[in-house]
Amino acid sequence: MNERMNRSQITIGNGKELEKDDRKYWAKASIDEKLRTITYLRECFYGKEATTGRFQRFYTVFKRI
């Protein structure tokens, strides 16, 4: 890993500007890209089982009066 950081790609700005740029990016992103990103983040936070397993079912029983 002898590659150096490409300093021409670094962006410096304040939080509001960067958030605005992020919103523009995700508004233009395709549905497929959004779903792939959500899946990736779920795997990062909850592990591989969160995206490969099935949904857990649960039932609620109401008592009729």
pLDDT per residue as tens digits for the range 20-60: 989 999 999 999 999 999 989 888 888 887 777 666 666 67
pLDDT, mean of residues 5-30: 86
Higher-scoring residue by pLDDT: 9, 14: 14
Find how far residue 22's CA is from the centre of its chain. 12
pLDDT at 28: 95
List Cα–Cα distances, 33 to 20, 23, 25, 41, 50, in angstroms.
19, 14, 11, 12, 19
Q: Where are the domains of the chain?
A: 13-52
pLDDT at 54: 66
pLDDT, mean of residues 2-25: 82
pLDDT at 25: 93
